[in-house]
Amino acid sequence: MELAWIERLRGESGVGFLGDDAAIYCGKAITVDMLTEGVDFILSEVSPELIGRKSLAVNLSDIAAMGAVPEAALVAVSLPRGDADANILLAEKLYSGMKPLMEKYGVTIIGGDTNCWDAGLVISITLIGSVLPGGVFRRGGAQADDVILVTGELGGSILKRQFLFEPRVFEAIYLNENHLIHGAIDISDGLAIDLYRVAKESNLGAILNSAAIPISPDAFECSLTSGRLPLDHALSDGEDFELILATPETEAKKLLETQPLLNRYGTKLFAIGKFTADKNLLIANPDGTTNILKPKGFEH
């Protein structure tokens, strides 16, 4: 869906940035994400504060994937029709959930639109970030033999991390200012499909080392009831919101040895494979065999 619509716009408008996590416009990175009830959250099962938090955090993650610095947001909301007091309370709780992230990452809300209607809660946030002197991370910037890094453990985000994840904003800024990153994306739909997007935009393939993929304890927990392997959760669960980074081997070596993000932000980098001139997406098994990796994940 997303892809067809984007491809069409690309063809028609000649815009070259639609494949990235954010558009670059007049020196700013700009992104929009719309969250809807029943897809991104269940209003009866989670607090409005966590919904508000998530709606800003997913946009912060997009700005982080560009290596940009978040600055300003416009917040459009449609609330399920109720009495005015209940609606104001809901809007305020959504806002309360955004506020700690706004303070932590320096985001100001500069505008918005609030409506009521006879259906579920919808929140659409447009987030603007400034571009650092070093430029932005692009999906299409990876090069053959670049090492694939990820910023944390993957899989099982549905248990809680989908609401509580920390967008890798500071990490991305640090990497942009101090290291050579060729390309990046945030894992919103799943490691395999988001890795595929970077590979495709870069006209490359990739090979993952299955034994090196950091699997979240949540993935193991999900595995107990899903009947799927923990590795499968790590490969195809959405909403990890860790970054996939493409970086040259020498830079990757430096990053893995010194782990600069670990001391600063408690964020460990993992090398999980490399990009290849061969355009297949592969996964190497512990027994030495390789398989085609299907770009599975959450498709909107």
Residues forming contacts to its own copies in the complex (CB under 8 A) are: 1-2, 4-6, 8-9, 12-13, 15, 17-18, 22-23, 25-26, 28, 30-34, 36-39, 72, 74-79, 84, 87-88, 91-92, 95, 99, 108-120, 122, 124, 126, 128, 300
How far, in Å, are 84, 152, 175 from residue 265 at the CA level? 42, 12, 12
How far, in Å, are 190, 278, 291 from residue 294 at the CA level? 11, 15, 9
Tokens for 54, please give them.
């998530």
Q: Which is nearer to its own copies, 59 or 210 (CB)?
A: 59
Q: Which is nearer to its own copies, 1 or 292 (CB)?
A: 1
Tokens for 147, please give them.
């090492």
Give, as one character, the DSSP assignment of residue 140.
Answer: G
Residue 218 to residue 238: CA distance in whole angstroms: 13
Nearest approach, Cβ of residue 111 and its own copies (Å): 4
Nearest approach, Cβ of residue 178 and its own copies (Å): 26
Nearest approach, Cβ of residue 175 and its own copies (Å): 23
Q: Which is nearer to its own copies, 42 or 262 (CB)?
A: 42
Nearest approach, Cβ of residue 224 and its own copies (Å): 29
Nearest approach, Cβ of residue 31 and its own copies (Å): 6
Side chain identity at 126, as an amino acid letter? T
Give, as one character, the DSSP assignment of residue 186.
Answer: E
How far, in Å, are 1, 3, 139, 191, 247 from residue 124 at the CA level? 18, 19, 23, 24, 32
Q: How far apart are the first and last CA of the chain?
A: 6
Nearest approach, Cβ of residue 38 and its own copies (Å): 6
Q: Which is nearer to its own copies, 39 or 262 (CB)?
A: 39
Q: Which is nearer to its own copies, 273 or 295 (CB)?
A: 295
Q: Which is nearer to its own copies, 33 or 49 (CB)?
A: 33
